[in-house]
Amino acid sequence: MLPLPTFSVLSPRAVSDAAQMLTDHPQARLIAGGTDLLPSMKYGLFTPPTLIRLGGVSALQEISVTEAGGLRIGAGVTLRAVGRDVRVLSLYPALAAATRTIATSTIQAMGTLGGNLMLDTRCAWYNQSTFWRGALGGCLKCHSAPEGAICHVAPKGKGCYAAHSADTAPGLLLYDAEVELVSTRGARRVAVAALYGDDGRDWIRRAPDELLTAVILPPPPAGRVVHRKLRARGSIDYPLLLTAAAFDPDRGPRVVVSSVGPRPVELGGVAEAWEAGGVEAVAEAAYKQVSPLSTHVWPAPWRKKMVRVEVRRALEAAISGV
Amino acid sequence: MSEPDSPVGRRGGKIDGLPKITGAARFTDDLTLPGMLHGAFNRSPHAHARILSIDVSAALALPGVYAVLTGADLPTPYGVIPVAQDEHALAVGKVLFIGDEVAAVAAVDQETARRAAALIRVEYEPLEGVFTIEDALNPDKPLLHDERRRKGDTNVLRRVFQKYGDPAAGFAEADVIIESNYDYPGSTHVPLETQVALAQPHPDGKLTLWSSTQIPHYLHRIVSKVLGMREQDVRVIKPDVGAGYGGKSDPFANELCAAALARKTGRPVKFILDREEVFYAHRGRHPTRMTLKMGVTNDGRITAADFKAWAAGGAYASYGVVTAYYFGVFLPLPYKLDHWQFESHRCYTNHPPCGPKRGHGAIQPRFALELHLDKLANAIGMSPDALRLKNCVEPDTETSNGLRITSVALKECVDKVLAASGYLEKRGKLGPNRGIGLATSAYMCGALHPIVQSEMPQSAVQICADRSGRVSILSGTADIGQGSNHMLAAIVAGRLGIPETDCVVLEADTGLTPVDLGSYSSRVTFFAGNAAKMAADQLYAVMRAAAAEKLGGEDVVMLGGKVFRESAPEKALDFAEAVQLAEERHGTLGFVGHYKPPKIGNRFRRQSVGPSPAYSFTAQVAEVVVDPETGFVTVERIWAAHDCGKALNPTIVEGQIEGCVYMGVGEALAEEQSYTKHGLHRAPSILEYKIPTVFETPEIITIIVESNDKEGPFGAKEAGEGPQLSTVPAIANAIFDACGVWMNEAPFTPDRVLKAIERRDREARRASFDGA
């Protein structure tokens, strides 16, 4: 087993305490389930001196019905609890389905919804041990990389293309969900669609002193949302491609594709394609728009072909569910 | 031979199974000694480089660090095969792959040791790397092992060429000849337990080494050699081991450095590899490029074969010389083939070293040949099972390359697997994208010749009957989870008519147990089993004689823990009473048995690799579903019939067959040692190296077939490796049945399968265009 680096732990009981600690300890990282954070720390991807443990903040563990008739899910609710909640199952089945595809059932019991949304972007050239990254010469996302390190996905590029891998994000985006971010300066809401940025190093639009406290879902849309995860095996694996499709008989389809770059992307031109040629045309439009890169061990050209297949299958399922 | 209540042939758990499932078993990492230090390596970040200087001062200055070793401290080369002594515990002069060990640290804890290892400054002069077979065959490329330098030298460790009969004449007889290229990937073992060693120095200068090894005997020899110690001063103990699959059949740097650091510091040193380091220690399947040309007559007689193989073997030889022979010598088995030849090349490349993995050297040619047979069957319009049965090797014959064949129940295996799977009814009729495939295979039951040539026994067992009725069994065998401890107990208990749980097995301690060469080449049941039987036979004879005298008649049997006359079973002695009687007459009841394989005359003197006292046989059928849009292959079911001679414990045999199938499914679907163009392993973790999860594991239907080998202990042969040989080609043949594509390249990842399907469709379109 790889040893963890040394760190200290702070255990707030209230959201306000946690926010204060985050302000007081700018180098600290938040830890909820820790199922991705701790392996990353063992790999030396980052070595925070302090972890702020959110497990003791009971306010983050609740699911409640909002006045608007949607749901507010605390960031600290475990993926297992989200996936088994009858309200989530009946109103937001694509979210429940997404939680059940994450890693393994034991990790779902530890990992949280907030943790999943805050999951670091991933890359085959980055999520490796200190020794491995040293032998590679580092990359743009590596904080400890030597001068002259390049991106191994796009060697001439200046950006980082590490792949957004949060399984719950595409579905939440189609449910028009928002997240609540809290700091000592106050609370604000950001749409999931606007939460993520275009560079794998700086993939989340969150101020360093903010913590994600809840996911707020508006009342569910008229049609059905479907979540699909392409992965190498039936368990444990991170996504090779995430697809979410929604179909509202009045408004037509919407499609989100993820794990192909630093953020989930809602495809453009879907309505036009739908009008012109139905499901096949939407799948073709997706294929043309989305170009996976070599951020995964499995080959990018095959993943590109899968965009067409997965979008078609997701959309067909969304339509047949109407 | 197997009585109803004898442990021989009885189902059930292993005698040492409970401690493993309750957590009571002690693996090497469970051992802790007072004052124990921990080791860590500094490893090469270069695939090929000359070491200009090593500065260990910062590491030594770190508080908690006790010692640092570099290659200069352990200059003696070694290698498990005597003709290929090309390794050093730590790099000397050059590093040969990314992950090669350069320096070793002993410190007060693992974190300190790792931190110190990272502080070692090594100056390198990078050299051009050798990463492909083309590179390895090119005399203009640098040599990995400079000492091999002669004019025109390449990085080929061993080239083997053998020819039998008259291949040209054989091809002339053929009605159909097909030639294809095949590629089989490198893969690694992924035992649950990583390599762990613990060395303890003694005040008298002696040394004890506990290690997770499959080869305590060879490790004993090599540790003594590299440390410059007398062999009688080194004691190697193998505690419980969490599997090996061939991956612990070499001496490893962590074992040698634990020993050397313990000697240097005067303290016990534990040296554990993390999972990533196991991918660098490797010794797994050779990635192999092959061409196979075979001819058949229209009535299905195989007339000739010509096989070539090139393997990119990584930085060191390991067992590679032997691999080069295995590629060819098992090619025809289980078929009769008179006219054939093979040429194989085992190359060095700047990658982690390959070595033996379950089905060593036979998996790759079997994949090629079993696909090829289906292609030939297709071409002559014969059913694949009929083609196989027509050419099947017969019992008590000799192959064209001089292998002595004794018991064979392959036809029965094929019949049973066809019947159970419904192959004949299903083939070609399962509808689009669902298919069924057959493959057969054979494997050795122990290499006839030892790694280090000698006329001494290759396995020995010592037994001692206690007055309590308990029988102790001492053997140098290495149980790595496969069940060899249970096998020894079942054989001894079976002979003496007592429960196997009344036996105590002490194994794999070179300070106490008589020698056994180790757990490789599927040798342990046949070799150590016969040694145990020989020891038990002697105890049986002495006890029987004493009981006959007491009971007044010669018709004595030992059964169910009792000793009695068959004609008067009501007057029975307890086994313990019989032991006491025998001890009174004979003295202390200790006996040794050993096994030396028979001297099997071989017409071909050069053939030292391949001969075995017996061969196991397997037939498998796989049923698969292919997703034609994604290329994903789902293996739904595998039926596996295996001729293991005699199942000493059917539960354990079934477990071995299932394990083989599981491993074969992994190699078929996704497992691959994949490297960047600079030689960096792309996925040295069990997250990204895709072994099957329970979702990819098919339903496995095992069928045990018993041929009762005349020379095997109670008729037993092997079951731990042979069953894997059929799995990958059965899946490939099923994919062809499902969607009409030949997967000549493994693993059958969605990417490769989809490309093959797209090629099929393009060709079909072109054909219909041409036809129109």
Question: Which CATH number is B656's domain given?
Answer: 3.30.365.10
Domain boundary among B216, B232, B264: B264
Do the Cβ atoms of B735 and B445 come closer than 8 Å?
A: no
In this predicted model, what pLDDT tens digit does every residue of B552-568 receive, in sequence order? 999 999 999 999 999 99
Same domain membership, residue B373 and residue B309 = yes
- Pick the closest to residue B294 from B405, B375, B232, B221 (CA basis): B375
B141 domain residue, yes or no: no
Under an 8 A CB cutoff, do A3 and B98 touch? no
Rg (CA), chain A: 19
Same domain membership, residue B411 and residue B310 = yes
Same domain membership, residue B390 and residue B313 = yes
Same domain membership, residue B103 and residue B234 = yes
Same domain membership, residue B303 and residue B436 = yes
Same domain membership, residue B587 and residue B611 = no
Cis amide leading into B334 (omega within 30): yes
Burial (CB count within 10 angstroms: exposed 0-12, middle 13-18, buried 19+), residue A210: buried
Q: What per-residue confidence (pLDDT) applies to A9?
A: 98
Ranges of residues in chain A with a pLDDT under 50 are none
More confident residue, B153 or B705: B705
Asked if B121 has any chain A CB less than 8 Å from its own CB, the reply is no
Same domain membership, residue B580 and residue B552 = yes
Under an 8 A CB cutoff, do B693 and A305 touch? no
Same domain membership, residue B471 and residue B402 = no
Whether the per-residue pLDDT at B581 is higher than 80: the answer is yes
In this predicted model, what pLDDT tens digit does every residue of B314-335 receive, in sequence order? 999 999 999 999 999 999 999 9
Strands B288-296 and B269-272, bridge-based pairing = unpaired
In this predicted model, what pLDDT tens digit does every residue of B341-385 receive, in sequence order? 999 999 999 999 999 999 999 999 999 999 999 999 999 999 999
Give me the phi and psi of B236, to 5 degrees please: -110, 130
Whether the per-residue pLDDT at B46 is higher than 70: the answer is yes
Same domain membership, residue B590 and residue B478 = yes
B200 domain residue, yes or no: no
Tell me which chain B residue has its CA closest to the CA of residue A240: B688
Tell me which chain A residue has its CA closest to the CA of residue B110: A3
Residue A31 one-letter amino acid? I
B333 domain residue, yes or no: yes
Q: What per-residue confidence (pLDDT) applies to B2?
A: 43
Domain boundary among B232, B264, B296: B264
Cis amide leading into B747 (omega within 30): yes
Domain boundary among B595, B624, B658: B595
Under an 8 A CB cutoff, do B680 and A3 touch? no
Whether the per-residue pLDDT at B4 is higher than 80: the answer is no
Alpha-carbon distance of A71 to A77, in angstroms, equals 13
Burial (CB count within 10 angstroms: exposed 0-12, middle 13-18, buried 19+), residue B23: exposed
Same domain membership, residue B442 and residue B398 = yes
- Pick the closest to residue B668 from B732, B716, B622, B609 (CA basis): B732
- Interface test with chain B among A125, A132, A144, by most B beta carbons within 10 Å: A132
Whether the per-residue pLDDT at B5 is higher than 90: the answer is no
Put simply, the chain B residues between 676 and 705 with a CB less than 8 A from any chain A CB are: 676, 680-685, 687-688, 690, 692-696
In this predicted model, what pLDDT tens digit does every residue of B261-317 receive, in sequence order? 999 999 999 999 999 999 999 999 999 999 999 999 999 999 999 999 999 999 999
Q: What per-residue confidence (pLDDT) applies to A322?
A: 54
pLDDT-derived band of residue B3, with 50, 70 and 90 as boundaries?
Answer: very low
Under an 8 A CB cutoff, do A302 and B98 touch? no
B137 domain residue, yes or no: no
Q: What is the CATH number of the domain that holds B90?
A: 3.90.1170.50
* Domain ranges, residue B529: 17-25+456-595
Same domain membership, residue B238 and residue B301 = no
Same domain membership, residue B671 and residue B643 = yes
Largest CA distance in chain A: 59
Q: What per-residue confidence (pLDDT) applies to A146?
A: 84
Find the mean pLDDT for residues B739-765: 97
B705 domain residue, yes or no: yes
Asked if A305 has any chain B CB less than 8 Å from its own CB, the reply is yes
Contact list, A236 vs chain B (CB under 8 Å): 687, 693
pLDDT-derived band of residue B1, with 50, 70 and 90 as boundaries?
Answer: very low
Rounded to a whole number of angstroms, the distance from the CA of A253 to the nearest CA of chain B is 22
In this predicted model, what pLDDT tens digit does every residue of B705-727 receive, in sequence order? 999 999 999 999 999 999 999 99
Strand ranges, E, within B378-446: 397-398, 404-405, 434-444
User: How many other CB atoms are found less than 10 A from the CB of residue A193?
Assistant: 18
Under an 8 A CB cutoff, do A235 and B693 touch? yes
Contact list, B631 vs chain A (CB under 8 Å): 302
- From residue B253, alpha-carbon distances to A39, A175, B71, B205 in Å are 26, 55, 11, 21
Nearest to B693 among A2, A130, A233 (CB): A233
Strand-pair partners of B559: B562
- What strand order describes the sheet that includes B568-574? B556-559, B562-565, B568-574
CA B498 to chain centre: 32
Find the mean pLDDT for residues B108-129: 97
Residue B643 one-letter amino acid? D
What's the distance, Cα to Cα, between the start and end of chain A in Å? 49
Nearest to A233 among B682, B690, B751 (CB): B690
Number of structural domains (chain B) is 3
Alpha-carbon distance of A211 to A113, in angstroms, equals 13
- For B254-271, the DSSP string reads HHHHHHHHHHHHSS-EEE
